[in-house]
């Protein structure tokens, strides 16, 4: 029974692709939390993100406050509490978008950021230049 040359080539390719003789290529290691920036003293990263957001006037941009709140998980209690209050004020401002309450809600975000900035100063974590 004659075999088609194409079938032979396909069979050869399939068999060489399934060979287990060679090890899989090495992959780069996944980044670990140890390679992330160290928050020492605790709250430094949180306060730096807040300072940057205030300087850049980006507090009301999506993701900015969430980033500050996320960084506060390693912060000390006063900074973490202030970040939580900032997050709550931001969530209320987003919910008030397009309503008569929006200006007051946005002002509350500014007030929470100012209060948190003072907490950072009081904690010795002011990073503004």
pLDDT at position 78: 97
Q: Residue 88 pLDDT > 60, yes or no? A: yes
Percent of all residues in the chain with a pLDDT value above 90, rounded to a whole number: 64
In a domain? residue 125:
yes
* pTM exceeds 0.75: no
- Largest interatomic CA distance in the chain: 89
Which range, of 2-11, 43-52, 112-121, averages the lowest pLDDT?
2-11
Number of structural domains the chain divides into? 1
What's the domain range around 45? 40-129
Residue 74 has pLDDT above 50, yes or no: yes
- What is the C-alpha separation between 121 and 44, in angstroms, rounded? 11
User: Is residue 76 one of the residues assigned to a domain?
Assistant: yes
Helices (H), 18-101: 44-56, 64-71, 77-95
In a domain, 22, yes or no: no
- pLDDT, residue 6, reads 53
The DSSP element (H or E) to which 103 belongs, if any, is: helix 102-122
- Cα 7 from chain centre: 52
Which token pair is 20? 């287990």
Instruction: Let me know if residue 104 belongs to a domain.
Output: yes
Note whether residue 31 is domain-resident.
Answer: no
- The pLDDT assigned to 4 comes to 54
- Predicted pLDDT at 46: 96
Cα within 13 Å of Cα(63), Cβ side: 0
Is 12 a member of any domain? no
Cα 84–88–94 angle (5° rounding)? 140
At 27 the pLDDT is: 45
Of how many residues is the chain composed? 129
């Amino acid at each position: 029974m004659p075999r088609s040359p194409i079938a032979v080539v396909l069979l050869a390719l399939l068999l060489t692709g399934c060979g287990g003789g060679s090890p899989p290529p090495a992959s780069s290691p996944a980044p670990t939390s140890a390679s992330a920036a160290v928050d020492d003293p605790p709250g430094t990263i949180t306060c730096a993100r807040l300072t940057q957001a205030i300087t850049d006037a980006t507090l009301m941009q999506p993701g900015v406050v969430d980033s500050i709140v996320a960084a506060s998980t390693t912060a000390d209690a006063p900074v973490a509490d202030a970040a939580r209050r900032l997050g709550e004020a931001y969530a209320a401002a987003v919910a008030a978008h397009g309503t008569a309450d929006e200006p007051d809600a946005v002002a509350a975000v500014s007030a929470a950021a100012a209060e948190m900035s003072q907490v950072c100063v009081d904690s010795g974590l002011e990073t503004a230049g």
